[in-house]
Amino acid sequence: MGGSLSLETFSRYSYFTGEYLGRMFRCPIYPWEALEPYWFEIAMGISKTLLYGKYTSNCYKDHKLWIKNRQGLEALRFADALSRDRGFRWAVKLFNKQAPSLKYGEWLAPIERDTPFFWQQLTQLGQLIYNSMRFLINTEYIRIHKLDLGVEVLRPYWAPTKEHVLLKEWGYRTCLFIRGYYDRTRKYPSLREIAGYWEVPRYVLVDAGFTRDTVYSMYRNWRKTGRIKIIKVPKTYTTLSEEEQRKVALEIAKRVTLD
């Protein structure tokens, strides 16, 4: 089971109540009036991205590193995954609309599409992620979970502390969704529809090692044996050249730019 938040945390901050994976939880609200209307989507986007990925403390970096392209590959990949989340992307776009009226430094300048300075403008997103992560960690909403072989990752406090428990809970609820979908429509859902059920981009499932084939292998085994057997495509981590990193960064900027 996941942990709990101390009463001291909520004596200092307002909070919203959410639910995911069948678990109810509380999340402290960032104490900045300009950001508050968009905080739910930002916090949920971060929570879901951390659940499906294996991110460490290297996933968030200050804007001073972003502006010099020294944020590191993990921070770039985390921003890439977040920018694909519909709710997170919507929140950033709406927050960005008021940027010209806020006096908190040049990193808040509105992000534009392909320009010679898009990397510098992307630091707005990097700083927003950094501030959000620092707040969620300082309030103990996000904690360090130790996986097998001593690997330490960041996860919401309410997430199961054991990786196999998290995966089995996800797998069981996914199988229930597939069965219910088929009972209603006499068709099986696509991977995109399964991702939609979990309110994450299809990319997030694929990046976590879940393809349509692996999900349905899990489902067939569950229908046959009643047990959840997680089957995932092994993930290979590759380094990106400076040019490849620039392309990823440009795609991130395009996703969160003003329409």
Cα-flanking dihedrals φ and ψ of residue 28, to 5°? -60, 145
151 and 182 share a domain? no
- Within this chain, do residues 63 and 190 fall inside the same structural domain, yes or no? no
In 3D space, the residue among 156, 145, 135 whose CA is nearest the CA of residue 4 turns out to be: 156
Dihedral (CA of 33, 37, 40, 43) sign: negative
Find the domain containing 252 and state its range: 7-157+239-256
Instruction: Based on the fold, state whether residues 216 and 184 are members of the same structural domain.
Output: yes
Q: Is the pTM of this model over 0.85?
A: yes
Do 100 and 209 lie in a common domain?
no
pLDDT interval class at 100 (50, 70, 90): low
Give me the mean pLDDT over the 132-136 stretch.
Answer: 96
Question: For 19, what's the count of Cα atoms within 13 Å in the CB-facing half-sphere?
Answer: 2
98 and 179 inside one domain: no
Question: 117 and 188 share a domain?
Answer: no
Residue 2 is assigned to a structural domain of this protein: no
CA distances from 244 to 51, 133, 177, 183, 250 (A): 26, 26, 37, 44, 10
**In contact, 131 and 116? CB cutoff 8 Å:** no
Between CA 38 and CA 41, with CA 39 as vertex, the angle to 5 degrees is: 75
Q: Could you read off the pLDDT of 145-164 as tens digits, one per residue?
A: 887 667 789 999 999 888 88
Task: Output the average pLDDT for the chain.
Answer: 87
Answer whether residue 133 is part of any domain: yes
Question: Is the same domain home to 95 and 31?
Answer: yes
What are the pLDDT digits (tens) for 206-224? 999 999 999 999 999 999 9
Output phi, psi for 144, to 5 deg. Answer: -85, 130
Same domain? For 82 and 176 the reply is no
Q: Distance between CA atoms of 225 and 178, rounded to whole angstroms?
A: 16
Q: Has residue 1 been placed in a domain?
A: no
DSSP string, 129-141: HHHHHHHHHHTTS
Cα torsion 13, 91, 72, 153: sign: positive
135 and 71 in one domain? yes
Six token digits for residue 54: 């294996």
231 located within any domain: no
Given pLDDT bands bounded at 50, 70 and 90, which one contains residue 12? Answer: confident
Amino acid (one-letter) located at 155: R
233 lies in a domain?
A: no
Q: Are residues 98 and 211 in the same domain?
A: no
Tell me the per-residue pLDDT of 228-259, one tens digit each, with 9 for 90 and over: 999 888 777 677 888 888 888 888 888 887 66
Strand partners, 26: 17
- Quick one: 152 and 181 in the same domain? no
Does 230 reside within a domain?
no
Q: Output 12-21 pairs: Cβ under 8 A, ≥24 positions apart.
A: 13/139, 16/40, 16/43, 18/44, 18/47, 20/44, 20/47, 20/48, 20/51, 21/51, 21/159, 21/166, 21/169, 21/170, 21/173
Residue with tokens 């199988």: 175
Q: Is 241 exposed, middle or buried (0-12, 13-18, 19+ CB in 10 A)?
A: exposed
**In-domain check, residue 104:** yes
Structurally, how many domains does the chain consist of?
Answer: 2
Residue type for position 113: R
Distance CA 173, CA 170 (A): 5
Structural domain contains residue 234? no
